[in-house]
Chains A and B, each alone.
Chain A
Amino acid sequence: NAGVTQTPKFQVLKTGQSMTLQCAQDMNHEYMSWYRQDPGMGLRLIHYSVGAGITDQGEVPNGYNVSRSTTEDFPLRLLSAAPSQTSVYFCASSYQPPGTSLEQFFGPGTRLTVL
């Protein structure tokens, strides 16, 4: 198993550009989520999905879109990049049978810089 993979690892954008951060998992996990990590603020949830075709907003969803057409993939789209979106982005997935501790598996992260 490759686990959770993210591409690209690094990206530089100009203000106003759009792009998609890719996330894939091969563990057949229902739950997938996107976080951003900023200094001193831990990881904050952007969007999440509880299964194919179902997505919902997290704590900081503005400026981002997601879709979940397959169980494996959960891309994050930046519609019009802004310098405030400079951050490290993590994708995570988990399998949630009832009564478990719901461990999340994280991808390696994408460092995004918006100029």
Chain B
Amino acid sequence: AQTVTQSQPEMSVQEAETVTLSCTYDTSESDYYLFWYKQPPSRQMILVIRQEAYKQQNATENRFSVNFQKAAKSFSLKISDSQLGDAAMYFCAYREAGNMLTFGGGTRLMVKP
């Protein structure tokens, strides 16, 4: 079974600074997809960014970008110019074609004003 590991239970960043959340995964597949989800206090799961494993270029969405290292099975999320609204739980997730998501344990991000 695939596993997804987020080694940082909590992270803190100063407003306007940059923070990187780590994620590693274990798989023997070559075709898969990776996601970062944000869960604010409202509990709603919000997709932040996605990465297809066959793409070498790292995905970016405005202030959010990833560092995808396929050989190392690493998928970190960088948040630039952090805002108070970025405070939330962040979940890394893995999915093979046709299979459901496997989630990491989550990282709680706190943003200090």
Contact = CB atoms under 8 A, between A and B. Distances in A.
Range of interface residues on chain B? 20 to 34
13 contacts: A33-B100, A40-B106, A42-B91, A42-B103, A42-B105, A43-B101, A44-B103, A45-B102, A58-B100, A88-B43, A90-B45, A102-B95, A109-B43
B70 to A, nearest CB: 16
Given A103-B47, A106-B45, A42 B97 contact: no
A113 B6 CA distance: 27
Interface string A36-59: 000011111100100000000011
A101 interface: yes
A41 B102 CA distance: 11
Q: Which 6 residue pairs across A and B have the least CB separation, nearest first?
A: A42-B103, A106-B45, A43-B103, A109-B43, A42-B105, A101-B33
